Amino acid sequence: MATSAAFLKGDFKRTGKMELSDEQKSQMWINSVNSENKEALLAWVKETGIELVQINGQRKYGGPPPGWIGNAPVSGSEVFIGKIPQDIYEDKLIPLFQSVGKLYEFRLMMTFSGLNRGFAYARYISRRQAISAIMSLNGFEITKGCCIVVCRSTEKSELALDGLPGNFDENMLKNVLDEVTSGVSSISLHPSPTKESQVLAVVKYDSHRAAAMAKKTLCEGSPILPGLPLTVNWLKTDMRQKLRSTDKLQQTKDLSPLPLLYTDRPDLPKETLLSAVGCLNMLCQEMKLGRPVFLIKLFSVTSFGWIRFWYQVVIPTYPTPFCGYAWMIGENLELNEKYEHARQVVAMKILSALGYIPDFSLGDVTARNAL
């Protein structure tokens, strides 16, 4: 041991005590915490040959276990174990949970000191065995006066990505996510409840593991849109309910009568009717607001072909200018086409802010400008 070697070499301070680094002192303190049960765990691991792996604050057995052939068990085969005494380890827990079924994986959440955090997850090879574990072990007295809780694990697999540009659609987002994550099974977009004019995406993955890996990747620095303050969290129940309420309110608004935006004007060229800038110009002309003046500043293209830009639009007799940042796809466009595309994106934002719904989608504008 390093400590013994230092002692034999006479590595002392003048007080006669051996000099220890902060790291050595920290390790000695960790080793001293619950040392008796830690030694029992080591003896059990050596005796059984079982392999435990420490990964990001949890100690794991299996996933898959030795000799496993085939796919991972289906959703619903994992149980949550709570109210575990913090000084108990796998040498007591794994045999207990193996007594009611075959374990595919066992994960014990750990603290820095080596104590457990009071909860764990056990995944069985089938849902039936998971149900059996709940029925048999929920309320089991694992030590005198300490009864554990065993219930179905929620196996979270949905992420909430808040702060996406308002012109994102499901296909755009899926193409980007497929570049950096795997296992996306569905995407739904909602108006952000916290960020005006932006979008919150609910992304469902085909497993908890795939969702957890995606969350880790996205949180390490959003590779979706560099520079965008994207928030990535597990989708919580209260957020799900809030999004449902917002969607219902939006559906009600969509059924309300809205001003007709020049869709029945045979005297105007079709190209003008399909142009957001053209529609905005006509609106301002008929409302006697003056012709809008656009100021656009383009930034660099991201690795996914997105361009971030700043805009300011002044309408002469409108009280305040419209300004902010937006995104667009434009990697393969010429410079003048990029500016025109940005103008269309901004005009559509302004029309929406003024309460008018243009008779085209951003996809139409994108497709036409990409030709």
pLDDT single digits (tens) 346-369 = 888 888 777 765 444 343 333 333
Supply the pTM of this predicted model: 0.53
The per-residue pLDDT for 259 is 37
Does residue 300 surpass a pLDDT of 90?
no
Per-residue pLDDT averaged across 312-335, rounded? 82
Most confident by average pLDDT, 83-87, 225-229, 304-308: 83-87
The answer to whether 34-152 and 159-251 have equal CATH topology is yes
Per-residue pLDDT averaged across 328-334, rounded? 74
* CA–CA gap between residue 326 and residue 308 (Å, rounded): 6
Show Cβ contacts of residue 192 under 8 Å, excluding neighbours closer than 6 positions.
162, 163, 164, 198, 199, 200
The per-residue pLDDT for 23 is 65
* CA–CA gap between residue 222 and residue 338 (Å, rounded): 24
* CA–CA gap between residue 146 and residue 72 (Å, rounded): 32
* CA–CA gap between residue 229 and residue 250 (Å, rounded): 25
Crossing angle between the packed helical segments 362-370 and 335-353, to the nearest 10 degrees: 170
Alpha helices, H only, 102-207: 127-137, 170-180
**Which overall architecture, per CATH, does domain 270-370 show?**
2-Layer Sandwich (3.30)
Does residue 41 surpass a pLDDT of 70?
yes
Q: Output 124 or 192, whichever has higher pLDDT.
A: 124
E strand segments, the chain: 53-55, 58-62, 78-82, 103-110, 116-124, 141-143, 146-147, 149-152, 158-165, 184-191, 198-205, 231-234, 293-301, 306-314, 322-329
Does residue 311 surpass a pLDDT of 50?
yes
The per-residue pLDDT for 247 is 59
Cα distances from 298 to residues 309, 326, 331, in angstroms, run: 4, 10, 12
The per-residue pLDDT for 5 is 38
Q: Which amino acid makes up residue 36?
A: E
With cut-offs at 50, 70 and 90, classify the pLDDT of residue 106. very high
With cut-offs at 50, 70 and 90, classify the pLDDT of residue 152. very high
Coil, strand or helix: which one is 13? Answer: coil
Domain boundaries, the chain: 34-152, 159-251, 270-370
Tell me the pLDDT tens digit for each residue of 206-223. Answer: 888 888 888 888 887 655
Contact 290/317 with Cβ under 8 angstroms? yes
Tell me the pLDDT tens digit for each residue of 4-37. Answer: 333 333 343 334 455 666 666 666 656 666 789 9
Does residue 176 surpass a pLDDT of 50?
yes
DSSP string, 192-226: -SSSTTEEEEEEEESSHHHHHHHHHHHHTS-SSST
The per-residue pLDDT for 331 is 66
Query: Phi-psi bin for 88: left (phi > 0), alpha (psi -120 to 50), beta?
Result: beta
CATH superfamily ID and name for 34-152: RRM (RNA recognition motif) domain (3.30.70.330)
Per-residue pLDDT averaged across 150-165, rounded? 88
Tell me the torsion sign for CA atoms 349, 351, 354, 359: negative
Which of 341, 277, 274 has the alpha carbon at shortest distance from 305?
341
First to last CA, the chain: 70
Q: Buried (b) or exposed (e) across 358-368, using 16+ Cβ within 10 A?
A: bebebeebbee
> What is the third-level CATH fold of 159-251?
Alpha-Beta Plaits (3.30.70)
